[in-house]
Chains A and B, each alone.
Chain A
Amino acid sequence: MELKKLKQLRIVITIFVSLIISLAINSHSYLLTLAAVLTGMIFMALFRHKAKIKVDERDLTIQEKAAKLTYAIFAPTIGIASVLLLIPTHSGLAVFSKADFTYLEALGMIFAYLTLFMISIFAISYHFLNKKFGGGRG
């Protein structure tokens, strides 16, 4: 299968899945939505496998660098955002003690945990990859 044909098929699947999703949401059938999404994903994976898209070392290098850049930008951004969201509610100012601002603290907490989760994932994957590629002591 050629790449052009795969792209065309992808568009058809996307249109079909979005149509089903919109119908399912309209009829409040969340199971159908889930089924449509899963079916779309399976079809995409099957066609992708059949098309045998070549992913070579240059692509992998680009993906590595893009992932590194994404992490370098995203982690500090949500980290700083969580601090900025948590500061007002813990500042003791009467303005921020209103009920209107409670969502800020909740959002700040979510961001803070997300930051910690990202750093943990990075540390764990770094540890295992380092071991896999012969790093560490000895």
Chain B
Amino acid sequence: MDNKLKVYRAIHNLTQQDLADKVGVTRQTVNAIEANKYLPSLGLALKISRHFKVNVEDIFLYKENNDS
């Protein structure tokens, strides 16, 4: 799984803490998602995509053989 969270965050001029506060998680979680160390739950992925007003697939990209 890959993601463009950092890109979307930069476009919207948000810090990790800002985004974390808006979607109700810790800054560490946002950082872990961006670094591909943590795969968010479906609920959180939807929350993030809804916040940026895009589809989930626009931010989170599924890659074969790399689902960690």
Seen from chain A, the residues whose Cβ lies within 8 Å of a Cβ on chain B are 54, 56-59, 61
> What residues of B have a CB within 8 angstroms of the CB of A61 in the complex?
38
> What residues of B have a CB within 8 angstroms of the CB of A59 in the complex?
26
Seen from chain B, the residues whose Cβ lies within 8 Å of a Cβ on chain A are 24-26, 28-29, 32, 38, 40-41, 43-44
- Number of A-B residue pairs, CB cutoff 8 Å, is 21
> What residues of B have a CB within 8 angstroms of the CB of A57 in the complex?
25, 29, 40-41, 43-44
Measured between alpha carbons, how far is A61 from B44 in the docked complex, in Å? 13
Q: How far is the CB of B18 from chain A (nearest CB, A)?
A: 14
A56 and B38 contact, CB distance less than 8 A: no
Q: How far is the CB of B13 from chain A (nearest CB, A)?
A: 23
A-B contact pairs, 15 of them (CB 8 A): A54-B24, A54-B25, A54-B26, A56-B24, A56-B25, A56-B29, A57-B29, A57-B40, A57-B41, A57-B43, A58-B25, A58-B28, A58-B32, A58-B38, A61-B38
